[in-house]
């Protein structure tokens, strides 16, 4: 997308979210523009969904506009610039704003489901998981970049090409992972209300080479022991120590005493406690993941692939981010992500089946055609919220497709052919450049590609034959135009159509 298009997209979004005065914060993750809003009622959801660059919207603690990988990183700074440039008098939204091309009962149902889920997800535990996710999500671009370089470098080494360049590429790919604990500590302190650099300073102890001369619990420590989990715990402790100091240390000596006590107290606890304990936990995670796939691979893949979409809906998938990062830090790749990516494959197969079954529903078919390319690349929100979840049964059959794809990859893990990803974030076809494993790259790619095909096929067949009741097909297979509003359609039909059936 060219710079002028990025600015045009940002300019189109701004009035539809209530203007600059309604925006309290702007951020983005891998695929979504995340906006803090002063007044949610000023947002025109239908008009936002109608924008060509918008793949969907998601309501959570922030208002999230799905733009897709790459695009979101370019549109976000343009929107920030427009917000900064805007005058106090925001431009009024045009009265003639068009409705989304899928103005149908499904859109209303999807919005209702998201609103209800947002309320259910606002529990202390799930809010804590969101905070953990906020620590690791900013690290994903570096994980992806270094992961791709590592994969390319591994290919060069295997082919014995450019031997004078591969050591430099190794350093480039490995540098970030060697210091990832520092970045985790920095982000943790920032997220929990401490001074970020103090969190980074305490976490840096974990990767300092000199810890090899220190003994704790009868064992010599090793640099990096405890990894990202130890860094997270150390930075959280540092934040609480700092807050205590800010409360009790006199202001006259605060600038000297508070940082010193924060680093000293949390540093000693990290060295003589957290590094050992977090190291044991990290080792346990790696051992458990390997044992699970070595001994119950097909079943484990079936369960993980089948349940990942419900975990996403419940907000529990965020608990997996530190686990992925720990596995990448320990083994060089996470064996769980390729299996979980099969959930997206089932969603794609499901969407194609819905497209085939609802031949006369132009509205739903238009939604699928616009969202399917993003689905192949692992961006599943438009298909989930716009198609399968509001329909009910197709969401279940999509999970069946994900379970089949996960079982396929898990089966090969039982045979000793592990498939992993050197980074987290991408899914679907976008994961191919990040694939790694314990066998040659060609076999790893073939197994992952086979899993995607199984997910597509089973998701399609399960949805085509079991995703609709006869009544659902009758109700949904109406000749509905993509641009027709529910009101206009109701006036044109003698008998209003029933709401789509759900499971």
* Catalytic site positions: 29
Is 161 exposed, middle or buried (CB count within 10 Å of its CB: 0-12, 13-18, 19+)? exposed
How far is residue 336 CA from its own chain's centroid? 14
| Cα 226 from Cα 214, distance rounded (Å) | 14
User: How many Cα atoms within 13 Å fall on the side-chain side of residue 401?
Assistant: 38
Alpha carbon distance 425, 70 (integer Å): 12
CA 417, 420, 426, 430 torsion: positive or negative?
negative
Q: How many residues does the chain have?
A: 503
Six-digit token string for 446: 């073939």
DSSP string, 275-308: HHHHHHHHHHHHHHHHHHHHHHHHHHHHHHHHHH
Which H helix or E strand runs over 216? strand 215-216
> Is residue 67 within 8 Å of residue 76, measured between CB atoms?
no
Q: How far apart are CA 64 and CA 48, in angstroms?
A: 11
- Integer Cα distance of 112 and 122 in angstroms: 16
User: Is the separation of the CB atoms in 445 and 380 below 8 Å?
Assistant: no
CA distance 471 to 90: 48
> From CA 383, how far away is CA 348, in angstroms rounded?
8
Distance CA 383, CA 389 (A): 8
Q: Is 208 helix (H, G, I), strand (E, B) or coil?
A: coil
């Amino acid at each position: 997308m060219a710079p002028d298009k990025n600015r045009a997209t940002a300019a189109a979004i701004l009035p539809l979210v209530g203007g600059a005065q309604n925006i309290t914060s702007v951020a983005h993750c891998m695929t979504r523009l995340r906006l803090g809003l002063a007044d949610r009622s000023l947002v025109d959801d239908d008009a936002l969904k109608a924008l060509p660059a918008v793949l969907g919207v998601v309501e959570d603690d922030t208002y999230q506009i799905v733009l897709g990988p790459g695009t979101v990183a370019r549109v976000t700074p343009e929107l920030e610039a427009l917000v900064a440039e805007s005058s106090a008098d925001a431009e009024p939204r045009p009265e003639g704003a068009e409705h989304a091309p899928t103005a149908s009962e499904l859109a209303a149902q999807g919005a209702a489901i998201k609103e209800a889920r947002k309320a259910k997800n606002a529990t202390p535990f799930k809010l804590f998981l969101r905070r953990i996710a906020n620590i690791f999500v900013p690290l994903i671009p570096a994980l992806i970049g270094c992961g791709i370089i590592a994969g390319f470098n591994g290919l060069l080494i295997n082919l014995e090409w450019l031997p004078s360049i591969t050591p430099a590429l190794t350093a480039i790919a490995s540098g970030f992972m060697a210091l990832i604990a520092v970045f985790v500590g920095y982000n943790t302190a920032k997220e929990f209300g401490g001074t970020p650099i103090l969190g980074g300073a305490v976490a840096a102890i974990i990767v300092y080479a000199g810890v090899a001369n220190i003994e704790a619990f009868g064992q010599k420590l090793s640099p990096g022991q405890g990894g990202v989990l130890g860094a997270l715990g150390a930075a959280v402790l540092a934040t609480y120590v700092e807050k205590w100091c800010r409360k009790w240390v006199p202001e006259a000596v605060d600038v000297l005493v508070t940082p010193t006590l924060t680093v000293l107290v949390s540093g000693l606890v990290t060295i003589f406690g957290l590094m050992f304990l977090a190291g044991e936990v990290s080792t346990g995670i790696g051992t458990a993941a390997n044992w699970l796939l070595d001994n119950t691979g097909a079943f484990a893949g079936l369960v993980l692939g089948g349940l990942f979409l419900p975990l996403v809906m419940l907000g529990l998938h965020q608990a997996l981010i530190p686990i992925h990062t720990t596995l990448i830090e320990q083994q060089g790749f996470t064996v769980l992500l390729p299996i979980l990516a099969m959930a997206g494959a089932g969603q794609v197969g499901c969407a194609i089946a819905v497209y085939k079954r609802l031949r006369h529903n132009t509205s739903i078919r238009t939604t699928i055609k616009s969202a399917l390319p993003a689905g192949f690349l692992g961006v599943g929100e438009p298909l989930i919220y716009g198609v399968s979840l509001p329909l009910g049964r197709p969401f279940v059959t999509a999970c069946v497709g994900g379970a089949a794809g996960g079982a396929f990859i898990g089966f090969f893990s039982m045979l000793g052919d592990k498939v992993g990803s050197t980074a987290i974030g991408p899914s679907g076809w976008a994961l191919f450049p990040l694939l790694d494993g314990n066998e040659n790259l060609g076999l790893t790619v073939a197994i992952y590609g086979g899993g995607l095909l199984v997910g597509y096929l089973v998701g399609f067949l399960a949805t085509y034959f079991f995703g609709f009741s006869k009544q659902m097909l009758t109700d949904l297979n109406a000749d509905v135009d993509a641009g027709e509003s529910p009101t206009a359609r109701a006036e044109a039909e003698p008998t209003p159509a029933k709401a789509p059936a759900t499971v």
